[in-house]
Structure 1
Amino acid sequence: MEDTIFLLVKAKIKTSYQNIHDAIAELQTKTVYHIGSTRNVKVLETKIIGLNTKK
């Protein structure tokens, strides 16, 4: 079976940015992450879904 699931990740951050939106934008575009496969589940593709934060 192949399907799409959504995983929610919580991250506590400390940043030198004055505006949290800048930190979010950087994390969404430059973060390196890994979600590995398990014995019974093969991860085919991952993607960070961008948040539409207001500046």
Structure 2
Amino acid sequence: MSEEQLQVNASLDVLGEIEDGAEQYLTFLLGDEEYGVEILRVQEIKGWDIVT
């Protein structure tokens, strides 16, 4: 895999006070594709380790 494929950019928008009924998502990029996961389904965020 190339470095670009391994690079994952994660962002979480925190707007202070959340309106009733609003949903929060953890969004990230994998290559040129953007994905989102409901924040309550996220258990852990891990960074990449160097493979030896």
TM-score tier after normalising by the smaller chain length: under 0.3
- What's the TM-score once normalised by structure 1's chain length? 0.27
**The structure with more helix, counted as a fraction of residues:** 1
- What's the TM-score once normalised by structure 2's chain length? 0.28
